[in-house]
Structures are given as structure tokens and as C-alpha cells.
Chain A
Amino acid sequence: MARDSVTHSERVSDRELVITRWFAAKPELVFDCFTQADLLRRWWAPKKLGVELYDMQTEPRLGGTYYFQFGPKGKPPVAFRGVYKEFVRGERLVYTQKFEPNPMAGEGLITMTFTAEDGGTAMRSSELFPSKEVLEFAISSGMEKGMRETLEQLSALLPEL
């Protein structure tokens, strides 16, 4: 592997999370893996998480919709749904996101960029949540994307507490 595949993440404001990750494949292919249902099904709910994927549908085009339904085994399923607002294969993907079944959650906006770097793809995903309360709800629902930097800061503190 030309570069380490470490998930980096950062909370940019009380409503925004940014995650970056490098993948050893061309931007077009990585982009397809985030937008085509048959590919998403093959990685989005890995077995070792104990999460069951019940439904996964996408219309991979500008203005298309998507729907992911999933949940921990033995619990009621939850779902994400939204619309692709920008759709430039291998470069940029912007989509709305609603979390069901919480009607109060409002709508989030996710902006993903894909850049050819070191023979692979540097992916950057920025999630803008409707409010910090929604961010809280999303985090507690497993949508959170890492926060490695905060964790590193915290782990530096913990031994001394």
C-alpha cells in the first residue's frame, strides 16, 4: 500500500464533522463504491459490527434518491434517506441525509470530495448537521465518523486523571 489507510476525523464546528481517508484505488471506483447499491451492500455493513443490512437502494445520478435500512440484530431497523444534490463521478458528491425514525432530526448535508493522490484516492467527507442536537442523535446512532484527533487529545489526558 502506497500510503497508510488511517481514518482521520475532526470536529470543525458544533454542527460539522470532517473525515478523511485514503484508499488504494482510482477515484472513479471509490466514488462508485459510495454510490452504487450493489457495491455498497458489499462493504457498508461489515459482519464484524453485528449490524444487519435490510435494504439498500440508490439512484446514482444528479437528483436521484437513496435509502439505507439497517440495525443491530434483534432491534428495530433504522434508516438513512436523501437526495444527491451534486453528482460528479470520481470528483464530488453532495447529498442530503435524513435519519429515520426521528422526524425531529431535520436534514443533514454531506459533501464528499475524491482526489487522485499517491496512486490512490484521498476522500474527504464533511457532514453538516441541522443542529448540534441532531449531531448528538446521529453520533448516538452510529453515524459518527471517527473523531480520532479528539480521542488522541483525550487519551493523552486520561492516564493522569
Chain B
Amino acid sequence: MFETFAALAEPSRFRIVELLRGGARTVNEIGAKLDLAQPQVSKHLRVLKQAGLVEVEPRAQQRVYELRGKPLRELSQWLERYRKIWDARFEALDELLVDLEKEKTHGKR
């Protein structure tokens, strides 16, 4: 799971993932679209492939990279769960702050 997140945390890789959601592409196509050198693209694709985010498919004489949705969906669910923990905590803190304000007012009377 963390591999997915680490892979996406790098801006160029996030752009590659965004590009690939429009369809499979070759390394050269990705480089041209995103203005990245081919070795850089290959390096990023290796990380994305290791994280299970892309897969290589042969197409005619070329190899194209295709996006895999499953890790992204899993990551999204996982992050959402933990974001909710802090949202719930901060909501409880909001309520406490209101209570403390009331206690203060009450105490002064």
C-alpha cells in the first residue's frame, strides 16, 4: 500500500499516471507529452510498475504502458479511513472548545 503512495508522491510520476488514464502509451509518447527525457520516463515507469500501478503490454513492435486501477482504489480507501480518524478527533475538539467556553462563562457568574 505504501509503495503506491510513495510512487504517486513524486510529481512526474503522478503526471504519468494522469496521462495513462487516457489510454496506454509508449515510453517515447509519455516523454514527448510530458516533456521528460526517455531515461527519466523509464526510471519512473519502473517505480510505477514495481508498485503495481502500471503494466507493460506488447503492441505491434512496441511496448506500451497501461494503468492498473486496483492499487489506486485500495490506496484511496485506506487513506480515507485514516483521514476520518483525524476528522473525528478534530470535531470532538471543536465540541470541547465550545464546552470550555461555556464553562468559563458559567464560572464567572
Contact-residue bracket for chain A: 35 or more
- Is A93 located at the chain interface by the 8 A CB criterion? no
The number of inter-chain residue pairs (CB within 8 angstroms) is 107
Q: Which residue on A lies nearest to B83, using beta carbons?
A: A146
Chain A proximity mask over B54-86: 1 for CB below 8 Å, otherwise 0: 000000000000010100110110011011011
Measured CB to CB, the closest approach of chain B to A150, in angstroms, equals 7
Q: Name the 4 nearest CB pairs between A and B, nearest first.
A: A161-B69, A136-B2, A46-B92, A43-B92
A39 to B6, CA, bound (A): 36
Contact-residue bracket for chain B: 35 or more
A151 and B93 contacting across the interface, CB-CB below 8 Å: no
Q: Which residue on A lies nearest to B75, using beta carbons?
A: A154
B97 and A151 contacting across the interface, CB-CB below 8 Å: no
A157 and B17 contacting across the interface, CB-CB below 8 Å: yes
A146 to B5, CA, bound (A): 13
Task: For B18, list chain A residues within 8 Å (CB).
Answer: 157
A160 to B17, CA, bound (A): 12
Q: Which residue on A lies nearest to B68, using beta carbons?
A: A161
- Is A21 located at the chain interface by the 8 A CB criterion? yes
Task: For B100, list chain A residues within 8 Å (CB).
Answer: 25, 29, 33, 39
A43 and B89 contacting across the interface, CB-CB below 8 Å: yes
A44 to B8, CA, bound (A): 30
B95 and A49 contacting across the interface, CB-CB below 8 Å: no
Chain B proximity mask over A139-155: 1 for CB below 8 Å, otherwise 0: 11010111110110111
Task: For A11, list chain B residues within 8 Å (CB).
Answer: 5, 9
Excluding A24-B97, A157-B21, 12 further A-B contacts by CB distance (< 8 Å) are: A14-B6, A25-B101, A43-B92, A43-B95, A136-B2, A139-B2, A142-B85, A144-B82, A144-B86, A146-B82, A150-B9, A161-B67
Taking CB atoms and an 8 Å cut-off, the chain B residues in 3-59 that contact chain A are 5-6, 8-9, 14, 17-18, 21
Measured CB to CB, the closest approach of chain B to A131, in angstroms, equals 12
Task: For A144, list chain B residues within 8 Å (CB).
Answer: 79, 82-83, 85-86
B72 and A157 contacting across the interface, CB-CB below 8 Å: yes
A144 to B79, CA, bound (A): 8
A42 and B96 contacting across the interface, CB-CB below 8 Å: yes
A23 to B90, CA, bound (A): 9
Task: For B5, list chain A residues within 8 Å (CB).
Answer: 11, 150
- Is A30 located at the chain interface by the 8 A CB criterion? yes
A95 to B86, CA, bound (A): 19
